[in-house]
Amino acid sequence: MADGLAHTLRRNDYALDADQRAVSEAFADFFEAVSPSAVVRAAESGFDRSLWHKASEMGALTMAVPGSRGGDDATVIDLVLVAEQHGARLAPIPLVESVVAARLVAETVQAGPDDPLPSIIDGARIATIALRPAHRAARQIVPAGAVADLVLALDGDELILVPAPGEVHREPNIGGFPLAWLDLRESPDRRVLARGAEVVTAYHRAVRLWKLLSGAALVGSGREAVRLAVEFANSRKAFGQFIGTFQAISHALVDAATLVESSRNLNRKAAWFAEYEPDAAPELFPAAYVSCVRAAVEATKVGIHVQGGFGFTTESDMTLHFRHAKGRPLVAGPLADDVRAAGAVLPVARAL
């Protein structure tokens, strides 16, 4: 992957280098080919195992970990670029959760016979992460908990691994994600992987990465929603004119596109800091997440209105993107916590 010293994202230049463009384009082509809307709709549980294996073969998991642990040394920026393409196609696989879990294990667990990392990055076992410490919640909604084989959680200062129970009830949700309520404290098969203050820090960094990648998936979805809306506006006529020429529609689309692009840039900047200066601007990460959430919701809402009566039907792909935009942020809990943490970084954050 590209040398960090060559990046200029910190100075608000959001141009990608050749390697980053190659990563983005490769995964754009991949998800476009394997995850059309028909596949998304067919995955009623929010998970397509065939697509999961294809993504694993593509290296979507391996790239997340260091070369010393059998990975490809991808930066956080690279992972964000992949997540954007994953979100654009709403691919029904727990890519974000597995990437975060793999990176956390690689960072905190030594290689050895009991190391779960090899089976995670080759896709043999699906891993996820509990977004709240186990000692603070008796039960919690776990992203991808309904399909995961392994759940990572923080209990005090211990990183624990909890095998999935035999029977897991998928919790119905607006986004169609494979969520499940799990009690991670009572599992008799739980295993301590690592402990100490550094483990606690690594866990919170992993939760932050989950929000960075989720934000990337949201703006990827938001960009696709704007594209679909523009395509629709340029193909439908009213009063003898394409509806895209009406100011009420064109202005709303421009506003939505601007919000999506600025949120994507902010999220990429946060990814740069996460990779190279993780302690320099802590308020940037919640600000980026809040902005991405708002951008996705606004873009899909505008898209539905542009499509009119069709936009509100289940046959419209816009509905899939709207449900994703509304559902994904709920997994992490109240957005108000991130708004407060963002402080004065963004006026938009204070307004939510």
For residue 326, what are the domain limits? 199-351
Among 39-48, 208-217, 306-315, the range scoring the smallest mean pLDDT is 306-315
What pLDDT is stored for residue 351 in this prediction? 37
What pLDDT is stored for residue 111 in this prediction? 83
pLDDT for 4 beyond 90: no
Please choose, from the candidates 131, 141, 129, 136, the residue with its C-alpha nearest in 3D space to the C-alpha of residue 185.
136
Asked if residue 87 lies in contact with residue 292, where contact means CB atoms within 8 angstroms, the answer is no
pLDDT for 352 beyond 70: no
Highest-scoring range by mean pLDDT, 98-102, 113-117, 246-250, 280-284? 98-102
Does the pTM of the predicted model rise above 0.85?
yes
Asked if residue 152 lies in contact with residue 131, where contact means CB atoms within 8 angstroms, the answer is no
- The number of domains in the chain is 1
Residue 89 is assigned to a structural domain of this protein:
no
Share of the chain above pLDDT 90, in %: 72
pLDDT for 314 beyond 90: no
pLDDT for 346 beyond 70: no
Residue 331 is assigned to a structural domain of this protein:
yes
pLDDT for 117 beyond 80: yes
Asked if residue 287 lies in contact with residue 345, where contact means CB atoms within 8 angstroms, the answer is yes
pLDDT (mean) for 181-189: 85
pLDDT for 166 beyond 90: no
Other residues' Cβ atoms within 10 Å of the Cβ of residue 100: 29
pLDDT for 350 beyond 50: no
pLDDT band at 348 (very low <50, low <70, confident <90, very high): very low
pLDDT for 184 beyond 90: no
pLDDT band at 96 (very low <50, low <70, confident <90, very high): very high
Residue 3 is assigned to a structural domain of this protein:
no
Residue 27 is assigned to a structural domain of this protein:
no
pLDDT in tens, 132-148: 998 887 789 999 999 99
H, E, C per residue of the chain: CCCHHHCCHHHCCCCCCHHHHHHHHHHHHHHHHHCCHHHHHHCCCCCCHHHHHHHHHHCCCHHHCCHHHCCCCCCHHHHHHHHHHHHHCCCCCCHHHHHHHHHHHHHHCCCCCCCCHHHHHCCCCCEEECCCCHHHCCCEEECCCCCCCEEEEEECCEEEEEECCCCCCCCCCCCCCCCEEECCCCCCCCEEEEECHHHHHHHHHHHHHHHHHHHHHHHHHHHHHHHHHHHHHCCCEECCEEHHHCHHHHHHHHHHHHHHHHHHHHHHHHHHHHHHCCCCCCCHHHHHHHHHHHHHHHHHHHHHHHHHHHHHCCCCHHHHHHHHHHHHHHHCCCCHHHHHHHCCCCHHHHHC
pLDDT band at 164 (very low <50, low <70, confident <90, very high): confident
Distance CA 285, CA 123 (A): 29
Residue 238 is assigned to a structural domain of this protein:
yes
What pLDDT is stored for residue 344 in this prediction? 57
Residue 45 is assigned to a structural domain of this protein:
no
Say which CATH number the domain at 248 has: 1.20.140.10
pLDDT band at 110 (very low <50, low <70, confident <90, very high): confident
CA distance between the termini of the chain: 36
Residue 317 is assigned to a structural domain of this protein:
yes
Residue 280 is assigned to a structural domain of this protein:
yes
Asked if residue 128 lies in contact with residue 94, where contact means CB atoms within 8 angstroms, the answer is yes
